[in-house]
């Protein structure tokens, strides 16, 4: 495998020497290498690591940080800080099918906001056990309940955002990427055609186009 990262970039975690095209190419870079580099990016983000440690202490069932909360820090490492603020959204996904789930969700959210009160994040907490996927288009699957967090990621409206990362109690990372990591490293916004109409996708696309105006995101 070709050398992907200069040792100096790894040493100071600025990642400025990453070859994005090589990293995104499944023929040139293995999925394990992409996972290692994603972990390096996330571990260099002190706010995010602190947030994940705090969330982990609450022991939410089957939880992860998901979507833009993973993609945007990676894109910042690859292409620089976004031109527009908005990359401090913290999307927390978990799966709790218990009868007390609604009451516990309110408690979780209150504790999370307390834990993260000193940080920069706007928190979005979502229990996927209460979600049923509905769509306007008859050709799309609808009325299907989600059975776990990993399945919820598969149904993300933006396939590029079908990502989840959990910091385990032993300090290791669990990465959930049902479509792989090549898409997020390529910085290409891909619509999940089974679970998202074009209008909703374009709304999400325009948001990141404003954040990284010099990048062809589609």
Whether 216 is covered by a domain: the verdict is: no
Residue 192: both structure tokens together: 């999940």
Q: What is the pLDDT of residue 190?
A: 93
Higher pLDDT pick, 8 / 107 = 107
Q: Residue 140 sits in which domain range?
A: 7-211
Domains contained in the chain, number:
1
Q: Judge whether 218 lies within some domain.
A: no
User: 108: which residues sit within 8 A by CB, 6+ positions away?
Assistant: 58, 60, 94, 125
Measured CA distances, 196 to 66, 78, 106, 156, 184 (Å): 17, 27, 28, 8, 18
* pTM score, whole prediction: 0.85
Residue 217 domain-assigned (yes or no): no
| 1 inside domain | no
Q: What is the pLDDT of residues 162-191, one digit of tens each?
A: 999 999 999 999 999 999 999 999 999 999
């Amino acid at each position: 495998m070709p050398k992907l990262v200069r040792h100096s970039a790894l040493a100071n975690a600025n990642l400025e020497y990453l070859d994005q095209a090589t990293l995104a190419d499944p023929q040139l870079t293995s999925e394990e290498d992409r996972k290692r580099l994603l972990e390096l990016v996330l571990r260099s983000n002190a706010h995010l690591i602190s947030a994940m440690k705090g969330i982990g202490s609450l022991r939410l069932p089957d939880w992860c940080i998901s979507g833009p909360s993973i993609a945007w820090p990676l894109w910042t490492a690859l292409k620089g800080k976004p031109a527009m603020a908005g990359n401090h959204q913290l999307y927390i996904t978990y799966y709790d099918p218990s009868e007390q789930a609604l009451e516990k969700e309110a408690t979780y959210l209150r504790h999370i906001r307390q834990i993260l009160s000193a940080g920069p994040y706007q928190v979005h907490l979502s229990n996927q056990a209460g979600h049923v996927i509905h769509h306007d288009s008859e050709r799309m699957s609808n009325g299907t309940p989600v059975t776990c967090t990993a399945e919820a990621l598969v149904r993300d409206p933006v396939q590029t955002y079908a990502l989840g990362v959990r910091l385990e109690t032993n300090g290791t990372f669990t990465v959930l990427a049902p479509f792989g990591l090549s898409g997020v490293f390529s910085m290409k916004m891909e619509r999940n055609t089974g679970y998202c109409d074009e209008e909703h996708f374009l709304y999400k696309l325009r948001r990141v186009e404003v954040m990284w105006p010099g990048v062809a995101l589609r």
